[in-house]
Structure 1
Amino acid sequence: MPFPFALPTTSSVLLSDCFESATHPSLPLAATTKRSVLKDALKKHKRLSQRQRAAHLPTVKNAVTEYIPYLLAINAAAGLGNVGVERLDLGVKRLVQVEWRTTLSATLPGREPPRPLLVGLHHEIAFTLSTLAYVHSLLARTQLRTLFEATVASADQRTSAISAAMKHLLEANSIHNYLLSLLSVSAAKDAPIDIQPSTISGLASLALAEATLIVVSKDDPYAAAVAEDKNESNTDWMFKAPSIPKVRAHLFARICLASAEHATQAQGLLGRSGSTAGKIDEDLVKYATNLRRTARGKAARFLGIDAELSGKTGEGLAWLQGAKKELGLAVELEDGQRKGFRGLKHSWQERREDKKVEKSGEWGMDAGKLEEARVVEMLEAKWDKENSTINVQLVPTYEPLLAGMPSGREYHTPQPYIPPSVDAETLARMRTPPDPIEEAALRRDEDDSGDEAGYGARTGAPVGPFPGTGGDYARSGTSDSYY
């Protein structure tokens, strides 16, 4: 949590071959330069290890942010002829043809996702802004990872990490909504599944669901208690039950239900598959499903806490049973431990998830479902012991309780995304002709981020020879042997 998006890579393209400007002749070349920096950053990011990618994310974010003003300036000039208050004469020499790797498309195991040829500037805008949204989601993952590490974070550290992650997720939601507001993007019929309107809308709902759900994590002492109990270096053997005011427990439940509603919407939108656009990766659809389960499980757990604080321990236990049902953890407990084959399976999955966190792997694909299951089982074991020895209340069935859950309550008010723009001074400098040396450098045959088949596949030379000695390894005209 959040979803570990894979950043796409892109091919080389010279925007100066596609556009020309009589008033600002340096604009297409400046945009090409910024795009080349972004292409190289994405290519380098893909080749890094999982542990190194987190530190490289700010570099990718800066590259995308610096390219967007020039890209949107060209788009505005090509459509209306104005960039802000300044008139810009821009002519189209030919349509933009670019390749972007579709990282959200379902592919066969072991194969790279396809990188189709896209025609039109609107596809370039959609993939560029989507990449920025993915980066914000990954930055949120980086912040939240500190909450799942072996070292227990302090209250101030938890608050700081969750607040930063929340800002990144809300920014990702705003970027996706901004993309939907662009008619050229929302009305595109030939777009890949990654930038289809249904996919963008689903990703916007997913980011808002994640941002809403982590609101309660900041003030949820039960999750922190489980993380502390899981820490092997913890020497505290006595556990004092944390306390939550009654009103806040009910409020947290409604916030979780609002998150579940957004996750349900994301699940429905991402689950669609078009015959021509392709199909979304099953891992993303499964993540949206797990996020909905986690949100509803948290809501049931907080409603159980609200009942237990009112002295209704039996009803609280019923809510916890409902929470396990929502989480898909319908197993019985024996002395606070799971039993049965499904119990062993869930325990194995939790240990596997802990190892992924330690090794900086693709943790969090369950959207926090296993962590929430630990909290529910901890409370159930504690309350069941109290109810068996002190209160002795009947535990009602949980089905009527789940059917009577309250409505969700929104916490965030998403703000519209305001893309960066080229300032007036920079735009004025682009009235000068472009530098021929810089233009010639960009026209050189540079490595493409999609050339992953090796040196021999790019040049036609056999693998192994030093540059310039390919002729020494060529086949003879009368033999089929290299020797």
Structure 2
Amino acid sequence: MPYPFVLPTTSAFALTTAFTCPTHPSLLRTASTYRGVVRDTLKRHKRMPPESQSANLALVVSSLQDYLPYLLAAADGLAGRHKEVRVTPTVPKSSKDDKKESTVHLEWRPVLVDARLPGKESPRVRIPLTGSHSTAALDTEAAFALSALGHAYTLQARAALQPLYVVTSVVPVGGQQRLAAITAATKHLLAAASVFLFAATFVEASPASATPPTPEVAPPALRSLAALALAEATLLAVLKDDPYPAVVAQDRNENDREWMYKAPDLPKVRAHLFARLCLAAAEHAARATGGVSSSVGISRGFVKYLQDLRHTSRAKACRFFAIDADLGGQTGTALGWIQAAFQELGEGAPGSGGPGGSSSTEKKNLLDRFRKDRAEKREKKEDRRIERGTNWGADAGRYEETRVLAMLDAKWTKQNDTMNTQLIPQAAPLLSQMPSGREIHTVRPMDAPQLDASVLEAMRVPPDPLDALADEVNDVGLSSSDDEDRISNQRSHTPGSSGIGAYPGTPSSYY
């Protein structure tokens, strides 16, 4: 956790080719300039190695934040929601080479839609800008930009939490560093939830909600993303004071030597409160699952992540109820809650098997050995993902919670067998007794990105005719994957370009 989103990419496009703004002539050209920056930033971010993408997320966020005020001003002006700005669509000219009228469209590549072929990217979604689609086109563009901003905030939360999960090397993450990382990640997740809620409200009030080009920018999916961010932020409130995941990670770190001189610190936790917070996170995850499970085209991996997050949150709640029972001296009840947690995760508790007997004992030992080998393979694979920073946490913290439950189960089973033998209750009655969740975070409504009055007033000035070159560079004819190579090839064959070994500013001396 959080979910490893992939940022979307978009095609080159100049808003001045499809719209005109008589009240603020410079608005569309300035918006096109900022859109070009967003497109270039997203494309460069996608091509970066995974270990370098975390440092580039701040640039992605700032470029989207700079673009959104101009885009929303143009969208509101086109839909008549702005008092001062008026934007009208222009009729595209017919092509000389084609008898049919040329279709102007935007393109975005969705990130939560299954690809048509395994191992391939999902196809781009075309947003037509002609005819009756022109009014909803800019609203859909705003929905994609807002969702990209929310995904970037989520990835920033992942980057802040990544050092807490590294176990292949000694990472100096103490109490203060751990608190700072979790606080920063919580801030980013709450910001993502606010952005997704604003995007859902914005799309619901626009004509784009009737026929969205992809279910990813439909209001149910956007609200599911907001619920997911809130669920993960709620779990971080528990992780901040939960010592057991850190102890398990320290025990698995072969390079850690702190155990030689210092025993693991396991302070008493507010177990019952944490259990109710985990149940609240499970409720948010269930609401997120319900919003996308019926949507056709949403990635099955994303839906499975939401389901795993719900089960993991409920398993965490069972673990804290078990800790609360152990603090009260009820070791048998604590082991019953541990079995309920394993049941929520869909895995059997270590040592669980059928009736007694020598053959049953041998089967039980073989099953335990098989589970241990499988768990070790999964742990090593997940550790390598965390070290590289690629696609780690895609199981919604399920493996991590399984490790913590296995540690507590072994500890309390030994204690219950040797010291105070107590009856272990069944898991089903315990699960039926769980209370409702308790909220800890409140998502603040996002303020709509708006242009400053002085900036909007400056847009009334007609644009400089020399800036028309920018529109040609950002024209629809250039594809997002080949335009840089095409421009670089043109520059390399230009007589005025500098050759190999040439000093800057002296190209004319070499020709």
> TM-score normalized by structure 2?
0.83
Pairing 1:103–2:111 present: yes
- CA contact 2:331–2:412 (8 Å) conserved in 1: yes
Are the equivalent residues in 2 in contact too, given 1:77–1:88 (CA < 8 A)? Answer: yes
Corresponding position of 1:59: 59
The code of the aligned residue for 1:206 comes to: L
Contact 1:21 1:89 in 2 (8 A): yes
- What CA distance in whole angstroms lies between the structure 2 residues aligned with 1:34 and 1:233? 47
Counterpart amino acid of 1:228?
Q
Structure 1: runs of 5+ lacking an equivalent? 469-483
Tell me the secondary structure at the aligned position of residue 31 of structure 2: helix
Counting aligned pairs with the same residue, the percent is 42
Q: Distance in 2 between matches of 1:161 and 1:449?
A: 39
**Contact in 1 for aligned 2:11/2:107 (Cα 8 Å):** yes
Separation of aligned partners in 2, 1:214 and 1:336: 36
| Shift in Å, 1:81 | 6.1
Distance 2:347 2:89 in 1: 59
Structure 1 pair 418–431 and aligned structure 2 pair: CA distance change class (3 A): same
Match of 1:364 among 365, 373, 393: 393
Q: Do the aligned partners of 1:314 and 1:387 also contact (CA within 8 Å) in 2?
A: yes
Q: Which letter does structure 2 place at the counterpart of 1:101?
A: R
Look up the match of 1:475: none
221, 233, 244: which one pairs with 1:211? Answer: 233
Q: Identify the match of residue 416 of structure 2 among 387, 390, 393.
A: 387
Query: What is the alpha-carbon distance in structure 2 between the residues aligned to residue 167 and residue 338 of structure 1?
Result: 43
Indicate the SS of the match to 1:215. helix
Listed one character per residue, the Cα deviations across residues 401-426 of structure 1 (whole Å, up to 9, x for unaligned) are 01211111111111101132111121
Q: Residue 118 of structure 1: SS of its match in structure 2? A: strand
Residue equivalent to 1:188: 210
> Deviations 1:260-292 (Å, cap 9, x if unpaired)?
111112122222233xxxx11122111111111
Using the TM superposition, give the Cα deviation of residue 230 of structure 1 relative to its aligned residue in structure 2, in angstroms: 1.8
Tell me the alpha carbon deviations over residues 346-387 of structure 1, each in whole angstroms, 9 at most, x when there is no partner: 221111101111122211001111111111111111111111
1:88 paired residue number: 85
Task: Say if 2:20 and 2:89, in contact at 8 Å, map to a contact too.
Answer: yes
Which residue number in structure 2 is paired with residue 451 of structure 1? 481
CA distance, structure 2, for counterparts of residue 333 and residue 250 of structure 1: 27
1:264 pairs with 2:286? yes
- 1:478 is aligned to none
Using the TM superposition, give the Cα deviation of residue 299 of structure 1 relative to its aligned residue in structure 2, in angstroms: 0.3
Deviations, residues 277-317 of structure 1 (Å, cap 9, x unaligned): xx111221111111111101100000000000011011001
Deviation at 1:15, TM superposition (A): 0.9
Deviations 1:393-449 (A, max 9, x none): 121112210121111111111110113211112112212110111222331367956
- Aligned residue-pair number: 452
User: Secondary structure at the residue paired with 1:405?
Assistant: coil
Q: Secondary structure at the match of 2:395?
A: coil
The CA distance in 2 between the partners of 1:330 and 1:117, in whole Å, is: 47
CA contact (8 A) 1:179 1:186 kept: no
Residue of 129, 133, 145 corresponding to 2:150: 133
Shift of 1:23: 2.7
Superposed CA RMSD: 2.5
Name the SS for the 1:147 alignment partner. Answer: helix
Q: 2:320 aligns with which of 297, 302, 309?
A: 302
Name the structure 2 match of 1:145.
162
Listed as ranges, the matches of 1:171-186 within 5 Å are 171-182=191-202, 183-184=205-206
Give the conservation status (yes or no) of the 8 Å contact 2:153–2:188. yes
5 Å matches for 1:11-30? 11-30=11-30
Matched residue type, 1:64: L
Letter in 2 for 1:265: R
Is contact 1:331–1:342 with CA below 8 Å preserved after alignment?
Answer: no
Residues 94 and 310 of structure 1, relative CA distance in 2, 3 Å threshold: farther
Partners in 1 of 2:69 and 2:386 — Cα distance? 37
In the other structure, the counterpart of 1:71 is 71
Instruction: Report the CA distance between 1:241 and its aligned residue.
Output: 6.2
> Letter of the aligned partner of 1:109 in structure 2?
P
3-state secondary structure, aligned to 2:348: coil
Residue 333 of structure 1 deviates from its aligned partner by: 3.7
Contact 2:140 2:208 in 1 (8 A): no
The letter of the residue matching 1:219 is D
Asked if 1:406 corresponds to 2:435, the answer is yes
Which residue type is aligned with residue 211 of structure 1?
A
2:184 is equivalent to residue 169 of structure 1: no
Change (3 A) 1:450 1:230: same
Contact 1:179/1:185, CA 8 A, preserved across alignment: no
Task: Tell me if the contact between 1:252 and 1:299 (Cα under 8 Å) persists in the aligned partners.
Answer: yes
Contact preservation (8 Å) 1:315, 1:395:
yes
Give the Å deviation of 1:97: 2.2
- Cα distance in 2 for partners of 1:320, 1:362 equals 28
Q: Corresponding residue for 2:266?
A: 242
TM-score of the superposition, structure 1-length normalised? 0.88
Q: Are the equivalent residues in 1 in contact too, given 2:125–2:213 (CA < 8 A)?
A: no
Quote the Cα distance in structure 1 between the aligned partners of 2:152 and 2:138.
21
Unaligned 5+ runs, structure 2: 93-103, 129-136, 353-363, 495-511
